[in-house]
A and B are shown apart, each in its own frame.
Chain A
């Protein structure tokens, strides 16, 4: 029998990974699958991508004609392009709103799945002690919190354990991300994205100044 501790830890890890990496990708994948099925939205999605290609083609054509030299031709292409763009905007507006609802549903389902699993685990193992604390390590009230809600006094309940796992995993993931960024040498997020990280060498004099 696999240890409960391990199960909980792996579950938290899985949840964290899904939420960090999987979210967008899962949404995209499910959306693609959905549009492949014979639903009304799939036709709209096809139509939308067709119109978008058309707009892009007309835009390229417009760019290739010099407005100064061939104004008449340029103006005609621009009229076509504007008309196509209007059509595309109108058509995609309805599709986009559906896509938003779809994404929201999938996210909700994902949450339910992960949280639901977590909830189920917590419930199933609610009375079981994860591990026992040596007597006298922590004061009585802390013991009470640690065993909240249903585990015995002096033990750590599953809820607390899973929270601890989640925090550690989050910290570890932050640390990994930070070290990857350091290795990369470039800033990842924020207003100065892409810049080199400013690192000053700690010389002997600098070391003394620090103190």
Chain B
């Protein structure tokens, strides 16, 4: 049987002690946050300290656990060993500028139209906002000791786009250093006429900062491509579009050389045999069809975890804890 090697549970992930980074992703309201929160709860039982980070601008970690989270990691009430953090990618760059103090604000205003143009340009480089949020994360996380970090990613699927950032940055830096050699003197004069760059840095300092950023991201890249350290868990529902998207995502992950060996299939219906509800039965039939396809396509290489659609919403620590048990112990449908 295809499933004989691969357990239909996330227990292998929890048992994999070397794992440091876990991404939970998927498009279309499939239950990413529920899954990532549940996984975090289970992980917290098996590890000393776990950090759950949401990079989705439409945060819902706070909803899920019933308490407010922010840019700094906060321990989750009711789950020992788990902390959570919500990062807004769009805010990062604005924050950077604000953190520069009044000088920075004035400098940005002094640059006027050019300043805002730089800001827009900075946003438009592929992956830069993800990269900035990621740099933010790294900054926060380097100081703290967490065994595992779980990412609840945004549904836009741009999570992995920032992996392209290092290559883009290299080209940009080359161009910049060329330009700086030619125009450096003139720009320095202009800038010092305005009172210097934010924090009185010189052009070289800014360049150096960007190089540092590139080095950090390059290092992180290497960690992500290491299957012992990183894995990606796609979450999906047994419907055509979700299946199509998941297949596409898995292929893309393969191109990026990021390991993925577990899939969570959510919102499964298990109607009783004598169920009168037409819609439930029809939906169950459709789900069965796609489940067969999923088992056929992924059964050999992936841990395919099947999660039921519950009668209640999975919100609040207790509900999530109950749900999380089903991640590690395959669900027995009451038939």
Contacts and interface: CB of A to CB of B under 8 A. Distances in A.
Contacts of B243: 71
A72 interface: yes
Contacts of A76: 297
Nearest to A69: B289
Interface string A68-110: 1111100110110010000000000000000000000000000
Contact of A68 (B240, B247, B294): B240
Contact of A72 (B240, B244, B293): B293
A73 to B, nearest CB: 8
B189 to A, nearest CB: 44
Most buried by B among A67, A69, A72: A72
Given A69-B289, A71-B247, A72-B297, 5 more contacts: A71-B240, A71-B297, A72-B292, A76-B297, A82-B251
A46 B243 CA distance: 38
Interface residues of B, number: 12
A68 B293 CA distance: 10
A67 B297 contact: no
A72 B297 CA distance: 5
Contact of B240 (A67, A78, A79, A82): A67
B251 A72 contact: no
Interface in A41-88: 67-72, 75-76, 78-79, 82
Nearest to B290: A71
15 contacts: A69-B289, A71-B240, A71-B243, A71-B244, A71-B247, A71-B290, A71-B293, A71-B297, A72-B292, A72-B294, A75-B247, A75-B297, A76-B297, A78-B247, A79-B251
A37 B251 CA distance: 40
Interface string B162-194: 000000000000000000000000000000000
Contacts of B289: 69
B219 to A, nearest CB: 28
B296 interface: yes
A67 B296 contact: no
B32 to A, nearest CB: 22
Contacts of A71: 240, 243-244, 247, 290, 293, 297
A68 B238 CA distance: 12
Contacts of A82: 251
A78 B251 CA distance: 11
A78 B244 CA distance: 11
Contacts of A79: 251
Give the 7 A-B residue pairs with the shortest CB-CB distance, closest first. A72-B296, A72-B297, A71-B293, A72-B293, A75-B247, A75-B297, A68-B240
B126 to A, nearest CB: 21
